[in-house]
Amino acid sequence: MKNLFLFLIPLLLTGCRLKNEAMTKIIFLHHSTGRSVWVGNTNRYVYKITGQGDVQKYFKKYNKKNKTDYFITEMPFPKSSPYGWNNYPYDYYNIWVKNSGEEPFMEEPTLEILTKDYNVIIFKHCYPVSRMVADIGNPNIDSEIKSLENYKLQYVALKEKMQEFPENKFIVWTPAVNTKANMTEEEAIRAKEFHSWLINDWDETGDNIFLWDFYEYETEGGLYLTEKNAYSPLNSHPSIEFSGKVAPLFSKFIIDVINNNVD
């Protein structure tokens, strides 16, 4: 019996190791708009106590039903300190491309770090990204000026960087937008142009990067975050009702990406 037990130990350990190796680990990098969708319809007080929002509950049910081992977590990125509460195209470019490497940049993880810990990496911008100024015909990849010409350069660099990690998958939200009261028509048109460029030009078939069209859900084909989808006409965060509606759509999209059901 003792010999049998000693024989089974390595098999049991191997089985545990294989299960851990097969686990798909997902991280969602976000600020307040992303947090709204992450929590969804879950009561905010319940979420504070349980730490379980709509997206996590969706994955829990999916794992139980399909006997899968998908683990999803979230992280504010970048943090308010020391880097600063900015998650524009420049900031992802600055942390992941310009200052890439095995060491964190201003305490923020680079892609070299994140790709070792997570199979799927999801990132987004909050609605201020849509308040873009007009191009001046002099694009600068190292500029923090929020213009389409700068966004394009930064996004091209980000795509090339993400493609350096073909074993990982990346999900990028199309840009969140403001309500009509919080942006000019010119800004709204530029934001729509950025969205169209991402969909029609930047996105490539067959690579490891996938776009989730949050912009389309928010605007419903228009130029602005609709008032019924907004927290209020003067607050461009998504409403609880809208967040609850799109949380399962977001969750399903992630799983479809993992299962190669999305191009």
Pick the CATH number of 23-258 from 1.10.3720.10, 3.30.300.130, 3.40.50.1110, 3.40.50.2300: 3.40.50.1110
Q: What is the mean pLDDT of the chain?
A: 92
Q: Give pTM, 2 decimals.
A: 0.90
| Residue 72: strand pairing partners | 26
pLDDT of residue 262: 83
| CA–CA separation, 124 and 172 (whole Å) | 6
| CA–CA separation, 174 and 144 (whole Å) | 19
What are the pLDDT digits (tens) for 244-257? 999 999 999 999 99
Give me the residues of the chain with pLDDT under 50, please: 1-21
Region label for 126, one of left (φ > 0), alpha (ψ between -120 and 50) or beta (otherwise): beta
pLDDT of residue 22: 58
